[in-house]
Chain A
Amino acid sequence: MKRVKRGPWRAGTIGTAMAAADPSRPRLTTSAMIASIAAEGQRTEAAPFGHALVEAARERPEILGMTADLGKYTDLHVFGAAYPDRYYQMGMAEQNLMLAAAGLAHEGFVPFVTTYAVFASRRTYDFISQAIAEEGLNVKICCALPGLTTGYGPSHQATEDVAIFRGMPDLTIVDPCDALDIAQATHAIATHDGPVYMRLLRGKVPMVLDEYDYRFELGRAKLLRDGADVLVVSSGLMTIRALEVAKLLEAEGVAVAVLHSPTIKPLDEATIVREAARAGRAVVVAENHSVIGGLGEAVAGALLRNGVAPPLFRQVALPDAFLDAGALPTLHDRYGISAEAMARSLRGWLQHRRP
């Protein structure tokens, strides 16, 4: 029997009719193509990946750009415009995209390959595994729409890409946070020898980390702010959320530390274990990914193996489910990864700890 997620429509309950009934409520819609995770009024930079790649390619003629009909939607079109003769439009054929990238890497080139995270992880796993990673080839797979960054529905929501890729030997996995992080990570993976999977935010990408004493280093987690009550270990856009939550809770007298771990594999276990071992501090792992197989479980495993047992361990992550379609702010709230929802979770967990 096929699953039914939505009951029959009744006038006045949702959509236009509802907006007409209550004009104060904005009508939230969604689009897979123009999704931006930036909040209104947030500082942003346009296409940080594309511009950083253009810069990196200036000194490194071996860098190429390749895409499967998603150049415009992964910011690779910026590279294509700057270096038309180094840009390969491979058509909507992701398997061949990965294989051809392997072939070009065989010949000494460094292809930066883009598609959506769902297609790279779900559709081309075998090709990345056997044609690229098993031979240690220098292919950089950079994918837009990681986790829940589109309201388009499960076909485009890569909620399990990290879980899928963490099992692949020799693959480096990077989940940068903002425009600054993406730009620096792009340069870092360009000089790193070996295959990399990087999760991309594209379009207008928030700029946050320039206010912190931060620099991206492959394989390193960085403490962005300290706090005695809770340690949040986070990656990707959830680091932006964690920093917002830390400010919210600071006003309520709760001190939140934020440890940003953009490299998910190999994980900076030493730094994470050291920070998590600080006495009396709750540990919360926040990720734009399913609770299964992502940063949360990676951190939990590292702590257990190292004999570190924080007084409280929780995950802010997406549920193990095919998620709803809808507007992104609605969904981030629904699934607990908006700043407000995350703050609510933390308050609840901390309250239980108090005598």
Chain B
Amino acid sequence: MEARTTTRANAPALEERAWRIRRNALRMGEVQGQGYIAQALGVADVLAVSYFHALRYRPEEPDWEGRDRFLLSIGHYAIALYAVLIEAGVIPQDELETYGTDDSRLPMSGMASYTPGMEISGGSLGIGLGIAVGIGLGLKRKGSDRFVYNLMSDGELDEGPTWEAAMSAGHWRLDNLICVVDVNRMQADGVSTGVLNFEPLPAKWEAFGWHVQRVDGNDIPALVRAFDAARHLAEPKPRVIICDTRMAKGVPFLEAREKSHFIRVEADEWALAIEAVDAGRTA
């Protein structure tokens, strides 16, 4: 069954999906005692809209030829992707308990050979968009009308191959490629634009031949409009959705904590964080 065959009327609202994704991620963080939880919480709304509004896939058949490809270039966001793959029914709910443990299918960094639904092995940052170019070319060769999505971080904008790929996608007019950039403004050594200034970002993508949208990445209706516009655009261009997100979104005491790439969460705080997310549940 395709996920999208779930009728809009009986499907949980996207806000509810996002809440469950955050909860799954926090549960994994609790099991492991660590994880890139601030990124997962920040990108949860983007993933909810991707997997429960935009993407076509079959949970029971992750390699289904008719699926839209969703690449996780940012390997360390694996905790977030597992959270959505569990919510989507690609990975069983119980398996959440194995996150990051020996011999688990859910390693800390996302790898294609470990996890159903994980299209590529990310982690060496900056490789996703180039692979997406190849997949986009491949889908066109096959006459497929499916999309390839690449989820990347603002830190990956520092990487040269990102811009080689951006130029290449523009050159090949890959209208089946949608790049989603999570701009959470934090990378390993500090504030992203301070580490290396990538602004003005929309102008850069436009100059490379892309259709550009910039949205609040924690505003679900805005994300829905942006994904719809990207999918239905007639122009023969690759599409980028720049999503400004807030790290640790949904857990106020973590949102308020001094920001860093790897946010520190004390052992007794995981339960509190889950309570906080539950309190903010809007559905």
Contact = CB atoms under 8 A, between A and B. Distances in A.
Contact of B134 (A104, A130, A134, A135): A104
Interface in B142-172: 142, 148, 160-161, 164-165, 167-168, 171
Contacts of A88: 137
A101 B111 CA distance: 18
Interface string A126-150: 1101110011100000000000000
Contacts, number: 97
A325 interface: no
B138 A131 contact: no
B168 A96 contact: yes
Given A96-B164, A131-B127, A103 B135 contact: yes
Contact of A106 (B135, B160, B161, B167): B135
A30 interface: no
Interface residues of A, number: 26
B15 interface: no
Contact of B141 (A106, A109, A130, A131): A109
A91 B161 contact: no
Contacts of B139: 107
Interface stretch (B117-125, B201-209, B274-282): B117-125
Contact of B161 (A90, A95, A101, A129): A95
Interface string A44-87: 00000000000000000000000000000000000000000000
B131 interface: yes
Contacts of B130: 95-96, 98-100, 102-103, 127, 131
A59 B68 CA distance: 30
Contacts of B133: 96, 99-100, 103
B100 interface: no
Contact of B127 (A93, A106, A130): A130
Contacts of A104: 134-135, 137-138, 141
- Secondary structure dominating the interface of A: helix
A108 interface: yes
B142 A107 contact: yes
B131 A131 contact: yes
Given A107-B141, A130-B121, A135 B112 contact: yes
The number of chain B residues touching the other chain, given as a range, is 20 to 34
B171 A91 contact: yes
B47 interface: no
Contacts of A103: 130-138, 148
A264 B142 CA distance: 35
B32 to A, nearest CB: 23
B113 interface: yes
Counting chain B CB atoms within 10 Å of each CB, the highest count among A90, A96, A109, A134 belongs to: A96
Nearest to B131: A103
A95 B164 contact: yes
A91 B131 contact: no
A101 B165 CA distance: 12
Contacts of A98: 130
Given A104-B137, A106-B138, A127 B161 contact: yes
Nearest to A108: B138
A220 to B, nearest CB: 29
Contacts of B123: 130
A222 to B, nearest CB: 34
B134 A100 contact: yes
Contact of B168 (A90, A106, A130, A134): A90
A96 B141 contact: no
B257 to A, nearest CB: 32
Counting chain A CB atoms within 10 Å of each CB, the highest count among B69, B124, B161, B171 belongs to: B161
Interface in A187-223: none
For the complex of A and B, 5 pairs with smallest distance between CB atoms: A103-B134, A99-B130, A107-B138, A100-B134, A96-B164
Interface of A: 88, 90-91, 93, 95-96, 98-109, 126-127, 129-131, 134-136
20 contacts: A90-B168, A95-B160, A96-B164, A96-B167, A96-B168, A102-B131, A103-B133, A103-B138, A104-B135, A104-B137, A104-B138, A106-B131, A106-B134, A108-B138, A109-B138, A126-B127, A127-B161, A130-B121, A134-B121, A135-B113
Given A93-B168, A129-B124, A134-B113, 11 more contacts: A93-B167, A95-B161, A96-B165, A99-B129, A100-B137, A103-B135, A104-B141, A105-B134, A107-B142, A130-B127, A135-B113
